[in-house]
Copies of this chain bind each other. A is one copy, B any other.
């Protein structure tokens, strides 16, 4: 007998908590909600399942939201024992919540009636198998709250600095400081807490990102139970005008536990240290979702997340965090905005769905996401210039990288990603056509609103006993398979046509490289599209050889400067067997940061810049994030290419 779990409309837990995550950015006294359309979780849900009972049973429904239980149409309140007779029992649970996540937890005395993945959720237009998560498997764990685990930390050092006290925790903390002022006579005195990822930031009263001010009242007195301060990231805490004797400083770190399953794959001490610090960075930027960094944005960014997905099998092999992140990123149909408004992030997210299935083989998740991927691909294919290339709409962002790329009109890096995304869609469609469906959703596939879903098999692949099946069952239909195979073919054909056009418009035989833009007339060559062309096997044979010599190994083409795109470049080095170059890059770039004392990997690193200036970015003296997920890629690169 399994244990019951909390159930909700699929994807909604992720939209609910994803919105919280994307609203958490804070900067110098103001909040900064993410600048894109936030998709909503659903507020009014009918959960249902039919049971064929051979014995009587007594069950009880707990819910987040208002509503009732109906057994064969007869209504009962929540939190009440309900007796069932043997025979057919159609159980419906109606739950509405205007401000929370409608979710239910159902338990029974005999274990025959339990909320689990065999239930269905209906928002009154679409019915789907419910969403569940191992994070919300206990009745006592409210799915409206993030189930953080708290860890008490003491500072590694406390020193008198600049007339105040600087505590260094020796590591990045994502939580809050706990401060007790020992001088109780100062109870009415004002205090300031300055936070910093660097000592320079913490001791800069004006420009540090986070600051907390208040009065030393009872809460901050010695021995007082202190209210939790807002969750923030820091390594240093600075108390101006307070001497080390006047305050006790500790901290609480919070996390969603992620189980590390891999050991460092190399023995070399420098590489091992790099791996350790990348691992630390990765774990800090993971949790309920993959976020970009712990201090600044704390938003769920698609491009960053896709790199975190790549690292995952080499450290955690945890598909759950990937699924949560992808659900939060895709949002709801109809999809009218690109992921984070960035066209390339939409493309990378579609490609990620193929990778997810290739890595973890979760057909049920692919089925859940496919209609959304299809809708997103439709949007992508609708944005064409007169030559048929993908171009941005008015509010779209073509990112690719913080780099000097000629972005006039259609750009080649985007087209190569589109080509790869179309191949991914073909893979997904073809896979679903032959997937013995855990959840067969014949009509969902076509993006229709009127849907039948089925559960025929348990998660272990065995057919469910009759009393565990859904009331309404439809086998995976031949029509569905036919549709999917036909769709796959048309994606393939579309990709092939695009490949020919990309070669006709963007390949410059004189330079032996793909140019960024044909429209500007500049024939500017950047590494980016050429790296994609090699990485995704878009360029083959001689063309690939030309790119390697004329771009990859050509010092005149400006170097990649962000760890974000270094991920792709180094992946290509690894793929091409250029392991020495790969290793050198890791040693110099990542090793360089660590030589500067980094305890986590930074958003960007320029060895030429020193002192406090190295923390500046985006025109802000402390704008650089010093614990940034996209820096963790050596865990992937070492695991894949340098493992001994």
A32 interface neighbour in B16, B33, B68, B393, Cβ under 8 Å: B68
Chain B hits for A124, CB < 8 A? 35-37, 337, 341, 395
Query: For A40, what are the chain B residues with a Cβ–Cβ distance below 8 Å?
Result: 40, 42-43
CA distance A27 to B77 in the complex (A): 10
CB distance from A240 to the nearest CB of B (A): 21
Given A20-B98, A94-B32, A336-B125: A450 in contact with B395 (beta carbons within 8 A): yes
Q: How far is the CB of A232 from chain B (nearest CB, A)?
A: 15
List residues of chain B with CB within 8 A of the CB of A449: 336
Question: Which of A22, A37, A46 counts the most B-chain CB atoms under 10 A from its CB?
Answer: A37
Find the B residue at minimum CB distance from A96.
B33
A483 contacts the other chain (CB 8 A): no
Min CB distance A391 to B, Å, is: 14
Main secondary structure of the interface of A (DSSP, over half): loop
Inter-subunit contact A125/B43 (CB<8 Å): no
Q: Quick one: CB contact mask for A26-44 with B, threshold 8 Å, 1 for yes?
A: 0101111111111010111
Which residues of chain B come closer than 8 Å to A505, judged between CB atoms? Answer: none
Q: Within 8 Å CB of A110, what residues of B?
A: none
Of all chain B residues, the one with the shortest Cβ separation from A449 is B336
Q: Please, what's the 1-or-0 string for A419-461, where 1 marks a CB less than 8 Å from any CB in chain B?
A: 0000000000000000000000000000001100000000000
Contacting pair B66 A23 (CB below 8 A): yes
**Contact: B43 with A19, CB < 8 Å?**
yes
- How far, in whole Å, are A521 and B272 apart by their CA atoms in the complex? 83
Q: Does any Cβ of B come within 8 Å of A123's Cβ?
A: yes
Are B67 and A31 touching (Cβ within 8 A)?
Answer: yes
A125-B66 in contact (CB<8A): no
Closest to A452 in B: B394
Interface string of A69-98 (1 = CB under 8 A from B): 100000111100000000000000011101
> Please, which residue of chain B has its CB at the minimum distance from the CB of A24?
B66
A25, closest chain B residue (CB): B66
Contact A67 B33, beta carbon cutoff 8 Å: yes
CB contacts under 8 Å to B, within A357-397, are 393-395
CA distance A161 to B38 in the complex (A): 57
In the complex, whether A334 has a CB less than 8 A from a CB of chain B is: yes
Question: A98 to B23, Cβ gap below 8 A?
Answer: yes
Known contacts A44-B38, A123-B37; decide if A19 and B98 are in contact (CB<8 Å): yes
Q: Count chain A residues whose beta carbon lies closer than 8 angstroms to a beta carbon of B.
A: 48
- Decide yes or no whether A99 CB sits under 8 A from chain B: yes
Q: Tell me how far the C-beta of A309 lies from the nearest C-beta in chain B, rounded to whole angstroms.
A: 25
**Contact partners of A337 in chain B: CB under 8 A:** 124-125
Q: Is the CB of B38 within 8 A of A77?
A: no
Chain B residues with Cβ under 8 A from A336's Cβ?
A: 125, 449
- Give every chain B residue within 8 A of A43 (Cβ-Cβ): 19, 38, 40
Which chain B residue shows the least CB distance to A69?
B30
Give bound CA distance, A100 to B27, whole Å.
Answer: 22
* Interchain CA distance A76-B31 in the complex, whole Å: 9
CA distance A98 to B94 in the complex (A): 22
Is the CB–CB distance between B125 and A30 below 8 Å? no
The answer to whether A31 and B68 have CB atoms under 8 Å apart is: yes
Chain B residues in 8 Å Cβ range of A341: 124
**Using Cβ atoms and an 8 Å threshold, which residues of chain B touch A34?**
44, 96
- Verify B44–A75 contact, CB threshold 8 A: no
Pick from B30, B42, B94, B98: contact of A77, CB under 8 Å: B30
User: Which residues from chain B contact A77 at a C-beta distance below 8 Å?
Assistant: 29-30
Which of B29, B36, B334, B395 lies in contact with A334, CB distance below 8 A? B334
Instruction: State the Cβ distance, A42 to closest chain B Cβ, in Å.
Output: 8
Give the distance to chain B from A558, nearest Cβ to Cβ, in Å: 29
Cα of A53 to Cα of B305 in the assembled complex, Å: 44
Pick the most buried of A23, A33, A40, A124: most chain B CB atoms within 10 A of its CB.
A33
Other than A124-B341, A394-B450, give 6 A-B pairs with Cβ distance below 8 A.
A19-B96, A31-B68, A33-B95, A37-B44, A38-B44, A99-B100
